[in-house]
Structure 1
Amino acid sequence: MEASAPKEANAKAPVTFPCSGCGGPMLFDSEAQNLKCQYCGREEAIEDSGSPPVEYDLDLTERDEENADRTDWGFRKQTLHCESCGGDIVLPELETAAICPFCGSSKVLPLEESASIKPETVIPFQISMEQAMASFKTWKSKRWFVPNAFKKSSIVSRLSGLYIPYWTFDADTDSVYTAERGDYHYRTVTHTRTVNGKTETYTTQERYTVWHRVSGEYDRWFDDMLVPASRRYDGKLLDKLDNFDLSKLKEYRPEYLSGFMAEKYSVSRNEGWQEARARIDHAIEDGIEKQIGGDEIRGLHTRTQYSGLTYKHLLLPVWNASYAYRGKPYRYMVNAQTGLVSGTVPRSPWKITFFVLFCVAAVLLAVFLIAQNQ
């Protein structure tokens, strides 16, 4: 498909996607996975080279603006900044946004453009707005401790289709470790006690731990460690949407953004790598502990060498939504590839109270039965 401006003029004129049939705007359609005219319904395929995503060597000393060909998003863009939450969104120059997709504020102003690495790959929207709302309806009906009226009510949501930036990191790790492994052993111990004036003898099994020094090596390859490059959301909500199938990544094309918004990353490569490294270190420690075995481990010291460090910058699709229930605001997000929902809901104090009382009653009953048996 040909853009409406010559390739060398892309830096000076916005790239749009007019319908070749009627001239109407063509937007990306999640069902057709093509551009689709909003007036006549004509579809146009999006070119895809089919080549695998490029992994870039991780150079933490390189600045974004030092590589101009990697900051060209393929269309003349504008960055809008929300004064309320600090979010930055990327839009084609001729499009506008009056409401922030992150917090719903109307305090959205143009921001002076600065260099940022363009996405290398993207997962296009697979879930439509209607499907996202249906997923939320099913999800909220299965929540515990929410008011029954909320489950049955029809919630009016305001949804925004948004591409959220992520980093992925690859790393080859070689670790050496030392530690002490503890193994449980048991011995029979004889005791005496007086019951109804009579002394009787009984035995118990007493546990003790035998410690041994251990050392070894642990090698592991980490592929596509996924790290959100956004600060705009509750991290717990975003982490629950991490079931993206990265094998479905496509080469980034500006056509996929037609009709949607994209967030500009607010977590730098360096910061993203530090987060990825913390996760990798934690995974290495877990792997080493499993390799050591035993019942307890103490004094674990690990030294790890990293090599083959690479990264990608990619965009992943999310329906971001807000709604109000009895005057209070709530939020939810829908993974626009898988339909997975993450969000906040109102709580029923009565249900929570009854559940706590039930748990207390169950504990008291268990204690009573144990005392009776003794």
Structure 2
Amino acid sequence: MTGADRRFPCDACGSEMRFDPASGDMVCDHCGKHTAIATPPAPAAIRELDFQAALLSALPLAETEAVRISHCPNCGADLRLTEAVHAGNCPFCATPFVAGTGELRQIKPRGLLPFALDEAAARRAMTDWLGRLWFAPGGLQAYARKGRRMQGVYVPYWTFDAATRSSYRGQRGTIYYVTQRVIRDGKATNVQVAKVRWTPVAGRVARFFDDVLVLAANTLPKGLTDGLEPWDLSDLRPYAPEWLSGFGAEGYQVDLRDGFAEARRRMDAQIARDVRFDIGGDQQRITSIDTDIRDVTFKHILLPVWVAAYKYRGQSFRFVVNGQTGRVQGERPYSTWKIALAVVAGLILAAIVGYVYAMNG
């Protein structure tokens, strides 16, 4: 059960408390009481789970949970709901939804990054970002500043650890120069021409991969979520439902097997870079890489994202803010009149430069 599924009444007045990013405490908006979140003693390790056991559905029952999921009919988000919620608006696209009655069993989160930015700080980061955009409509920044509240959502990710040993075959290229006589402008001259001498090579590389991060949802475009990186996973906290109080939480849509396939692509790309470094020389050719991968473990984590979905002049735009660092990504419109003005200004400048050059010629 997540914090999105539980309520935390204030022991002073009985009102519901929420997690406050500014103070790091649970806060009651009615009476103002602050309560610290109980955390395991440091250093609390976030335990990894066995990948093969999960694929065989052999994880202990305590590592899974039954959750209520509502599927947004517009953007496809899977939203985790409390039992008290029967309808609402999707935080990713603002589409109204009605909660279903079914439950889905999922792997529990092992850790999370708590929100470090509150809604006001996230909105400032977004409007500052909008203000730096070239050719953005002037009214969009003011509209976003006054628009609907941003929604804080914990987005699901997988992380994978693995030990790898790779054997490879390839070629090392060494550049050397030969002198050739050529004719230039009717005259014979000597020039240095680069050649490459290729030497067959073979070897081995090894690397331990720690916390290869893979997005476990398809709601937001990958370009937006990739742009929110990097995340400082050294600040991961052991999962506690209190962190989620007052925020939304998205259920994962990318299953564990598909998540590892994406992680493996990233691992293979890094291994190829390691191989090129190991080959050395001036250029490298890789003929084959054979990788043995062992001790694969994983964990399900939640990362904080502030989301804003706006309709501006009939078009929908989404903006996301990294709730840890304030990094912003978004779908941005363009102002046609600003672009046209820039083109005209460029043509005028080119004409002036041409005129000055002609006069001085």
1:54 is the counterpart of 2:39 = no
Match of 1:293 in 2: 280
1:97 Cα deviation (Å)?
4.5
1:304 Cα deviation (Å)?
0.6
Structure 2 residue matching 1:134: 3-state secondary structure? helix
Cα distance change of structure 1 residues 124 and 299 upon mapping to structure 2, 3 Å threshold = closer
**Consecutive unaligned residues in structure 1, runs of 5 or more:** 1-9, 366-374
* Aligned-partner residue type, residue 261 of structure 1: G
* Aligned-partner residue type, residue 203 of structure 1: N
* Aligned-partner residue type, residue 181 of structure 2: T
Cα contact 1:65–1:116 (8 A) shared by 2: no
Match of 1:4 in 2: none
1:187 is the counterpart of 2:178 = yes
Q: Hey, what's the Cα distance between the residues in 2 that align with 1:78 and 1:341?
A: 30
1:138 Cα deviation (Å)?
1.1
2:239 to 243, 252, 260: 252
* Aligned-partner residue type, residue 104 of structure 1: A
Q: Hey, what's the Cα distance between the residues in 1 that align with 2:100 and 2:331?
A: 30
Cα contact 1:60–1:270 (8 A) shared by 2: no
Match of 1:203 in 2: 190
Cα contact 1:323–1:331 (8 A) shared by 2: yes
1:158 Cα deviation (Å)?
4.1
Match of 1:126 in 2: 116
Match of 1:326 in 2: 313
1:29 to 20, 24, 29: 20
Of 289-298 and 179-188, more deviation after overlay is shown by 289-298
Structure 2 residue matching 1:116: 3-state secondary structure? strand
Match of 1:370 in 2: none
Match of 1:99 in 2: 89
TM-score (norm 2): 0.87
1:70 Cα deviation (Å)?
1.2
1:343 is the counterpart of 2:340 = no
Residue-by-residue CA offset, 1:71-103 (whole Å, 9 max, x unaligned)? 238xxx532221223221112212354111222
1:67 is the counterpart of 2:60 = yes
1:184 Cα deviation (Å)?
1.8
Q: Hey, what's the Cα distance between the residues in 2 that align with 1:256 and 1:190?
A: 74
Match of 2:257 in 1: 270
1:240 is the counterpart of 2:227 = yes
Q: Hey, what's the Cα distance between the residues in 1 that align with 2:166 and 2:291?
A: 4
Of 265-274 and 288-297, more deviation after overlay is shown by 288-297
Of 50-59 and 269-278, more deviation after overlay is shown by 50-59
Identity of aligned residues (%): 37
Match of 1:372 in 2: none
Cα contact 2:53–2:59 (8 A) shared by 1: no
1:162 Cα deviation (Å)?
0.4
Cα distance change of structure 1 residues 15 and 61 upon mapping to structure 2, 3 Å threshold = closer
Cα contact 1:160–1:320 (8 A) shared by 2: yes
1:279 is the counterpart of 2:272 = no
Q: Hey, what's the Cα distance between the residues in 1 that align with 2:269 and 2:345?
A: 38
Residue-by-residue CA offset, 1:163-183 (whole Å, 9 max, x unaligned)? 000000001110111101222
Within 5 A, what are the aligned runs for 1:308-327? 308-327=295-314
Structure 2 residue matching 1:59: 3-state secondary structure? helix
1:318 Cα deviation (Å)?
0.5
Structure 2 residue matching 1:242: 3-state secondary structure? coil
1:303 is the counterpart of 2:290 = yes
Cα distance change of structure 1 residues 147 and 187 upon mapping to structure 2, 3 Å threshold = farther
1:145 Cα deviation (Å)?
3.5
Structure 1 residue matching 2:96: 3-state secondary structure? coil
Q: Hey, what's the Cα distance between the residues in 2 that align with 1:211 and 1:357?
A: 53
Cα contact 1:65–1:115 (8 A) shared by 2: no
Give the number of aligned pairs. 344
Match of 1:167 in 2: 158
Q: Hey, what's the Cα distance between the residues in 2 that align with 1:224 and 1:35?
A: 29
* Aligned-partner residue type, residue 24 of structure 1: S
Cα contact 1:83–1:108 (8 A) shared by 2: no
TM-score (norm 1): 0.84
Match of 2:201 in 1: 214
Cα distance change of structure 1 residues 21 and 64 upon mapping to structure 2, 3 Å threshold = farther
Of 136-145 and 342-351, more deviation after overlay is shown by 342-351
Q: Hey, what's the Cα distance between the residues in 1 that align with 2:101 and 2:240?
A: 23
Match of 2:73 in 1: 83
Structure 1 residue matching 2:106: 3-state secondary structure? coil
Structure 1 residue matching 2:89: 3-state secondary structure? coil
Structure 1 residue matching 2:243: 3-state secondary structure? helix
1:293 Cα deviation (Å)?
2.3
Cα contact 1:18–1:24 (8 A) shared by 2: yes
Match of 2:356 in 1: none
Cα distance change of structure 1 residues 157 and 190 upon mapping to structure 2, 3 Å threshold = farther
Of 288-297 and 266-275, more deviation after overlay is shown by 288-297
